[in-house]
Structure 1
Amino acid sequence: MSKPVLHNSSAGLPAAAEAPRPNDQPNAERRPADVEMARVLHTKPVSMALDPSGSAIAHWKHEPLHDVVEPMSHHVIMAYNGSMQRMERRTGRSVAIGTFRPGVLIIIPEGSSSRWDIPKPVDVVQLYLPHTVLKRVADEADIATPLDLLERTAHPDPITSRLILSATDVLESNEALDTLFRHQLIDLLATRLLAAHTGSPTTIQPTMGGLSPKVLQGAIERLRSDSDADVSLAALASDAGLSRFHFCRAFKESTGLSPHAWLRQHRLEQAMNMLRDTDASVVSIAAELGYASQTAFAAAFRKLTGETPSDWRRRMR
């Protein structure tokens, strides 16, 4: 697994603008999710990838837990990645007993508090989602349903669970690719949460029609820009005059690929052309394409082709 952006948990996640929420504890007095998790788990995350929205994805490995998780300023959604085990969660007078196993989802709504008793070590990936992100996605998707997430304890949802776990597998130590992937993933996860994990689940209608030829060409030109260009989902959507939600769906309707998948394929084609047609070193190709290291580039190239860059070059010449 390549190493995503690391974050100092003691500092707390970036603050996100937040409207008052109907919870017992004012939002300003709640801890950011990463700070509260570090406190209660008595460790640091294996890795953490941040998004400018205040969202984050963190991978934790921690010992058995017998403690109270205090109210947090983020919704926390977890996907379990360890061996099966029973656990207990107490919220007020309510007791939920569930089984941690791959394919289940745990949701701690913003501002809620519960006691957890987990008898064995845990390997888990967590999404920290500010309510502002959930609201933005709901507004963009024209969802009028109440936005309060349900508390979930080992709730079966293999699709959402797999999406969260994928966050630690797809990152490539390439800033443009990793940022675009996180933007898409966070919006997609927010959409799934709205569709299946609120008090009034809703069906989100698929987008009909793609981008106009002119708008599509502009998006592709931005994606083809050099490695320092802003290819964030926000920049692409702004150029198109669309919301992030509608841009992603229209781009895929037009090209058959998500923006991240399109850029990933484009970078692979660039790499192949440079390996075949130039004598540039693998190190210099990795740097030109925006990879943090030769190792990260080689791992990404091999994941897509089954070969290292050097082996592919030798075979093609």
Structure 2
Amino acid sequence: MAQAGVYGRRLGEPLQLKDAPSLITRTLRSAELAVTETRNDSPVRDMSGSLPADDAYLVSLKFRDYDDCECWEQGRYVTKSNIRRGATYLYDLKRDPRYVIDKPFHSIFFYLPRSALDDVARQAGAPRVDELAYEPGIGHDDGVIRHLGASLLEALKRPEETNQLFVDHMMLAFTAHVAQTYGGLRRITAPARGGLAAWQAKQACDRLASDLGGKIRLQQIATEFGLSVGHFSRAFRISTGLPPHQWLLQQRLKVAKQLMAARDLSLSEIAITAGFANQSHFTRVFSAVVGVSPAAWRREMHRPARSES
């Protein structure tokens, strides 16, 4: 199936990039969301190419200063401004946003189609978001986008280690934040306060535990219960104390500990069996959460108990 959204190659080529890694989610019923890293340390001076026209926005987090950025929309010069690292910028893909490329740049771009904003409004029982409020070339100091962007940048560096539930969770949070902060979304219906029914919680946990690799999508599980992704995620957290992607991480670690305690498997075999991408991924996550490396944990587990004299 051909790519439809403005991310990955369709975003990278107009910015002189041969490689523009992306993470994609279909968390919302009618929308495909994505985040793309764009970096060029030695660009050729030129106007950026036109991006494909789309009823969608790009929301960009900048990781590098870019002085005197000359911005254009609909074929006309708009403004020149100094872009600062950590700032958030919005672009309307219906307005042919372009800029003069004459310095190194490093950013990530969230692709946010109109259909995603409509889905979030429906789930919140709120009126449709009209247009996002932004001024071309004017940045925002947005702490939420900085946090989400930094987390997703790490995921873009190691896509083979990134589970789909994490991407789904982060992009759902991003969409809700943008709709509220820049679209004026205001919830009318009160959010569901209760958790899942006991049988639902058990079934959801069993479903997640059956795929420790984390390839299953939140949308798929939520649909099985007839719930929106947002409602399911909130209810799951109430019932278990953790969002789905963090619950799955705890299950991975639990399985890994069981294997290290009971079986003579290599750490590489344990890593794969417990749903990690490889031994390096397993070691890094285990050490960060548990406080010691898997090898050290295993040695301590199998050390003979000292006898009392």
Interval of TM-score (by shorter of Structure 1 and Structure 2): 0.7 to 0.9
Q: Which residue of 1 aligns with 2:129?
A: 146
Superposed CA deviations along residues 212-255 of structure 1, whole A, max 9, x for unmatched, are 22211211121222437863201221222211111111111222
Structure 1: unaligned runs, 5 residues or longer: 1-10, 17-31
In structure 1, the residue matched to 2:256 is 271
Q: CA separation in 2, counterparts of 1:50 and 1:278? A: 37
Residues 252 and 285 (structure 1 numbering): CA distance in 2 closer, same or farther, change over 3 Å? same
Task: Work out the CA distance in 2 between the residues paired with 1:158 and 1:229.
Answer: 28
Residue 100 of structure 1 pairs with residue 89 of structure 2:
no
Q: CA deviation at 1:94?
A: 6.5
Q: Which amino acid aligns with 1:274?
A: L
Whether 2:269 is the aligned partner of 1:284: answer: yes
More displaced stretch, 261-270 vs 128-137: 128-137
Distance 1:60 1:273 in 2: 41
**Does the alignment pair 1:58 with 2:36?**
yes
Greater alpha carbon shift after TM alignment, 160-169 vs 50-59? 50-59
Q: Which amino acid aligns with 1:77?
A: V
Higher mean alpha-carbon deviation, 221-230 vs 48-57, is at: 221-230
8 Å CA contact 1:103–1:159 kept in 2: the answer is: no
The partner residue of 2:57 within 52, 75, 84 is: 75
Does residue 128 in structure 1 map to residue 111 in structure 2?
yes
2:292 corresponds to which of 307, 312, 316? 307
Q: CA deviation at 1:36?
A: 4.0
Aligned: 1:47 with 2:9: no
**Residue 71 to residue 43, structure 1, CA distance change in 2 (3 Å):** closer
Alignment of 1:170-181 (within 5 A): 170=155, 178-181=163-166
Instruction: Indicate the SS of the match to 1:150.
Output: coil
Are 1:111 and 2:91 counterparts? no
| SS of the residue 1:211 aligns to | coil
- Partners in 1 of 2:48 and 2:92 — Cα distance? 15
Report how many aligned residue pairs link the two structures: 289
Query: What residue in structure 2 maps to residue 24 of structure 1?
Result: none
Contact kept? 1:80, 1:104, Cα under 8 Å:
yes
**Distance in 2 (alpha carbons) for counterparts of 1:162 and 1:42:** 27
> Rg: which structure is higher?
2
Matched, 1:15 2:4: yes
TM-score under structure 2 normalisation? 0.81
Deviation of 1:257 (Å) = 1.3
Contact 1:87/1:116, CA 8 A, preserved across alignment: yes
- Please report the TM-score for the alignment, with normalisation by the length of structure 1: 0.79
* Higher mean C-alpha displacement, 140-149 vs 245-254: 140-149
1:310 Cα deviation after fit = 1.6
CA distance in 2, matches of 1:98, 1:207: 43
- Picking from 46, 49, 70, the partner of 1:88 is 70
Aligned counterpart, 1:26: none
Q: For residues 174 and 114 of structure 1, do their structure 2 counterparts lie closer, same or farther at Cα, with a shift above 3 Å needed?
A: closer
Cα separation, partners in 2 of 1:227 and 1:41, compared to 1, 3 Å: same
Return the letter of the residue paired with 1:110. L
Quick one: structure 1 residues 192 and 221, their matched pair in 2 at CA, closer, same or farther if it must change by over 3 Å?
same
Deviation at 1:155, TM superposition (A): 1.4
CA-atom RMSD, angstroms?
A: 2.9
Distance 1:67 1:180 in 2: 38
1:76 aligned counterpart, secondary structure: strand
Distance 2:179 2:58 in 1: 14
Bigger mean CA deviation after superposition, 235-244 or 296-305: 296-305
**What SS does the corresponding residue of 1:126 show, helix, strand or coil?**
strand
SS in 1 for 2:258: helix
Taking the aligned partners of 1:230 and 1:61, their CA distance within structure 2 comes to 28
CA contact (8 A) 2:15 2:48 kept: no
Identity of aligned residues (%): 27
Alignment partner of 1:231: what SS? coil
TM-superposed CA distance for 1:197, in Å, is: 1.2
For residue 121 of structure 2, give the secondary structure of its aligned residue in structure 1: helix
Q: How far does residue 47 in structure 1 lie from its aligned partner after superposition?
A: 2.7
SS in 2 for 1:238: helix
